Amino acid sequence: MNIDKSKKRIAKKVKMGFKGYPQLSIAYFGETAEIATEVIVTFTAEEGAEPQDQRFAGQSDVREDEVIQSALVKIMERTDAKTVLEVEGVAIKG
């Protein structure tokens, strides 16, 4: 799946807001606020359930990595996530 298509599918789901569970949360991390070298996807099956994290890392900006963005779409589909949340910006790894 091409990068633009993946990003649009994720953005569309994020814009829908909270629609219940299962829920995915996507957070980007990097050495600086400009380049995200890591993304953590947190899956929560139902309210009060133990969240499960999956981490992807890259040498360059993972927001522009076609393989990683396609994987995020696949996770969204595979988990049948009703809600997808995306943390704004890039958090600096400490």
Q: pLDDT tier at 93 (50, 70, 90 boundaries)?
A: confident
DSSP, collapsed to helix, strand or coil, labels residue 86 as strand
List the chain domain ranges. 3-85
pLDDT more than 90, % of the chain: 97
pLDDT more than 70, % of the chain: 100
Over the stretch 63-91, which tens digit does the pLDDT of each residue have? Answer: 999 999 999 999 999 999 999 999 999 99
Over 80: is that where the pLDDT of 1 sits? Answer: no
Q: Is the pTM of this model over 0.85?
A: yes
Closest CA to 92 of 29, 28, 40, 25: 29
Over 80: is that where the pLDDT of 61 sits? Answer: yes
pLDDT at position 74 is 97
Within 1-94, residue ranges assigned H as helices are: 3-15, 66-78
